[in-house]
Amino acid sequence: MTLRSTSPLWALFLREWRVARRIGGSGAMGVVFFLTFVTLVPFAIGADPNLLARIGPAILWIAALMASLLSFDRLFQADAEDGSLDLLHLGSAPLELVVLIKCLAHWAASGLPLILAAPFLGLMLQQEPIALGGVVVTLLAGTPAITLIGGIGAAATVTVRRGGLLMALLVLPLTIPILIFGVSAAQAAIGGSVPFLSPFLILCAMTLTAFALCPFAAAAALRYLGE
Amino acid sequence: MGAYSAQPQLSLLGFCMNIPLSTPSCAPNGSSQSLRLCVEGLSVQRAGRRIIDNIGFKLAEGEALVVSGRNGAGKSTLLRALAGLLPTLQGAVNLNSGDLEVELPQNTHYLAHADGMKLALSVEENLNFWANYLAAESHPRSQSIAQALSIVGLTHALRAPFGALSAGQKRRAALARLLVAYRPLWLLDEPMTALDQVSRVRFAQAMRAHCVEGGLIVVATHEPLGFETTRELAL
């Protein structure tokens, strides 16, 4: 561990990363949930290899979405409870950047492990190598947007005790476009009438839009609820 | 400090304000660059009730203001409003250096009941984070983590996880945060909670040193601070 002076935002990223790793909750638990969810699917719909191969990308996407949702509610609430959130307001960096950095650190600690686990879980769903690649690439492009949208939900429910369910209700409808284009791009990687690039580029565009807009919405919610 | 008159915009936009290094003075009109906190006609509403009503005061460099009052009188609300964490209904809070207004949030330390520390990180990691986050440029008066911990008497707990500390030790670590990133205005809400007698004396000395160096303190407390405060505000 090195302790030296760094920029405020890098210091924030390192702190978020260390807390996530040290507590060990979000990353590992998300992956275990992901594994459990994917394991349940063949039990529910039957072990038909063709069927599983066809719906596999969609299952992986829904499981990744649910697993991401698990950890959002603590994103700002933990900081609100221990008083850090007030102090983060007093820094030199604008709150929008603080929100963005916190979301990025959260994605690195809990979103990235899901993406790394996805190809292995895909094997359980009879996925071809090309389909596994498609799922990984689309998750890589799409999950940052889910994290950023989740950031809005976490900010809006920061003062709500046990606001996890409320947050899921707020966030899930907003992720529908990401899910549609993420799954269709992943399906297109296996083959079909749609070329891979058209849904994939729309997915990338939505992620970039989320990068541009979500930090402002989340910071506005935090400011409004600050009192 | 000529930098102010020559480049006022830069000093306003700068991440961390350079504090005038002129000889510290406790007199209100000590030097033209001296720091002043001006609060005029401040009113704050919370949950539809006006808690702070038309409060005004001026605090000059080196002065400490003790805010007293019964429970629920609005001491915490006043401090949060001063820190800019609450929207104000009326009035203005300004921090001025000479004739220039400086960014209040970036020159203010706010210490309330919550310590602002992560239980999973060590005392050193927590303080290192706040030193980097709150002081964008290292200020000559910022103390090192080891110095700050020795001032609050917590040197032995440098590498201990924050969650393993007792309530009083947590408080001392939180007080060390004020020292590792120099900021001239301290807003302290019951800073002595859970501190033992030795720690109270040590922290009172740290507050006095901060004032002598030209800092400003607004502190809400029920207890005597143990050093001659210059002003008092009863809510």
Query: Average pLDDT, whole number, for chain B?
Result: 81
Sign for the CA dihedral angle at A77, A80, A82, A84 comes to positive
B9 Cβ contact list (under 8 Å, min separation 6): none
pLDDT at A4: 56
**Category of A56 on φ-ψ map: left (φ > 0), alpha (ψ -120 to 50) or beta:** alpha
The per-residue pLDDT for B5 is 37
Sign, CA dihedral A193-A195-A196-A198, equals negative
From A74's Cα to the closest Cα of chain B, the distance in A is 13
Cα maximum dimension of chain B:
50
In chain B, which residues have their Cβ closer than 8 Å to the Cβ of A5?
A: 131-132, 138
pTM of the model: 0.86
> Do B56 and B16 contact (CB within 8 A), yes or no?
no
Going from N- to C-terminal start, the domains of chain A cover: 8-225
Per-residue confidence at B169, pLDDT binned at 50, 70, 90? very high
B1 and B22 Cβ atoms separated by less than 8 Å: yes
Query: Which secondary structure element, helix H or strand E, spans residue A167, and what is its range?
Result: helix A164-174
Highest mean pLDDT among A160-164, B4-8, B142-146: B142-146
A51 touches chain B (CB under 8 A): no
| Rounded distance between C-alpha atoms, residue A179 and residue A62, angstroms | 8
Chain centroid to CA A81: 23
Q: Is the pLDDT of residue B17 over 50?
A: no
Segment holding B179, helix H or strand E: helix B167-180
Token digits of residue B112: 């309330």
- B164 and chain A in contact, CB less than 8 A: no
Residue length of chain A: 227
The pLDDT tens digits for B195-234 are: 888 988 888 889 989 988 888 999 998 877 766 667 788 8
* Phi/psi of residue B222, nearest 5 degrees: -100, -15
Question: Residues 86..125 of B with a Cβ closer than 8 Å to A: which?
Answer: 86-87, 105-106, 108-110, 112-121, 124-125
**Rounded-to-integer distance, Cα B121 and Cα A30, Å:** 22
Q: How many CB pairs under 8 A join A and B?
A: 93
Contact B132 A91 (CB under 8 A): no
pLDDT in tens, B55-102: 888 888 888 899 988 888 888 889 999 998 888 888 889 888 888 888
Contact B126, B74 (CB under 8 A): no
More confident residue, B6 or A77: A77
User: DSSP for B128-194?
Assistant: HHHHHHH-SS--TTPPPHHHHHHHHT-GGGTTSBGGGS-HHHHHHHHHHHHHHS--SEEEEESTTTT
B32-234 folds as Rossmann fold (3.40.50)
The two structure tokens encoding residue A214: 């979500």
Per-residue pLDDT of chain A (227 residues; tens, 9 = 90+): 445 568 889 999 999 999 888 876 667 888 999 999 999 998 999 888 889 988 999 999 999 999 988 888 788 988 998 999 999 999 888 999 999 999 999 999 889 999 999 999 999 888 889 999 999 999 999 999 999 999 999 999 998 888 788 898 999 999 999 999 999 999 998 877 888 899 999 999 999 999 999 999 999 999 888 76
Q: What's the average model confidence in pLDDT over B120-144? A: 87
Q: Residue B84, Cα to own-chain centre: how many angstroms? A: 13
| Cβ count near A23 (within 10 Å) | 18
Return the sign of the alpha-carbon dihedral for residues A99, A78, B75, B205. negative
